[in-house]
Amino acid sequence: MKKDIKNFVFQELREYLLRRGFLSRCADQIFNWVYKRRLEDFRLMTNISKRDRAALEKEFYFSALKLLKKEVSHDGTKKFLFGLADGYSIETVLIPEGRRFTLCISTQVGCKFRCEFCLSGRPGFRRNLTICEIINQYLGVLDLIRPKKITNVVFMGIGEPLDNFSNTIGAIKIFLHRQAIHLGKRKICISTCGLPPRIEELNRLNLGVRLSVSLHSADDGIRSKIMPVNKKYPLTELLGAVRSFSKQQLLPVTLEYVLLKGLNTGPSAAVKLKKRLAGINYKLNIIPYNRVSSVYQPPSQEEVSRFISELKKRKVFFTLRKPRGQDINAACGQLRAQTP
């Protein structure tokens, strides 16, 4: 049975080919053709012998995602609905900002963690994406926007990247490899709802990529209400893992904080943030809620201003993030898997 060649990280492909009698440089050549030159036809890979090309064609195939829909926001954000081979679909978002083009990639069909302010988990969890399905989001969008280039990748789409750990890491290794996509390691960011064992495992791998954590409250009671994962991994455990990651990687961890009207925007919330974040190298992103349900409401501008003032008073450093793609439901929390 043929194998999808884009499911192989470099070392796995090299070892696989060596066991089958191919030259050691064959994996380098294939990666270069597929990821740098964007060629997916073994017959045209002219620096590989004809015999090996014929053998490769019998052994492997190239998958692709089907573009079902493309939407463009008034701010230039683009959302792509991609169909998968089994009939499920996922969403991927491209965010332009000057010369930077950031691609927000999905890692699962649906999500297990059901954060109250996020649509992605509403249909329930269906399955993990494979390495090739993760990579093909990047390649599919890249082919659509050429000659422009994708400069940054964030694993912040549908699903929890660290819950699909091995395939997320496999995709990152392809993004980083010199003969493949070869993004700078600081140009890649993994976003998590907060899984300390996986954060610790990511820390041990020492890939040098960035980490973003959905925090949204420094109070365990409130966070458990809006993020059920907090019942299993409370803040002390989560922030301990975050503190270790920021210290070992010598990188600030981005902490996402969605403002929900009347819930996590008062003076006491700012006080608890100050206390909880002590000793952590962090960047705090403040995000006014993008409404996805009737349970919670976006804060008023006055409420946002008061909370920001409380943070400034306590010297909690933050960035107020400008929403992107709201009019096409491509903003934070608005992505969802289209399922049968």
Identify the CA nearest to 280 among candidates 245, 311, 307, 313: 245
Q: Cα separation of 228 and 244, whole Å?
A: 23
Of the residues 59, 71, 91, 133, only one is catalytic, namely 91
Is 303 an annotated catalytic residue?
no
Which residues make beta-bridge pairs with 188? 153
With a CB cutoff of 8 Å and minimum separation 6, the contacts of 192 are 160, 161, 162, 198, 199, 211, 212, 213, 214
DSSP 150: -
- Catalytic: 332? yes
Residues 6+ positions from 181 with CB-CB distance below 8 Å: 35, 36, 138, 174, 175
- Of 104, 115, 193, 332, the active-site residue reads 332
Cα 258-248-276 angle, rounded to 5 deg: 40
**Cα separations (Å) of 141 from 40, 149, 179, 207, 247?**
16, 10, 20, 24, 35
Catalytic residue annotation: 91, 332
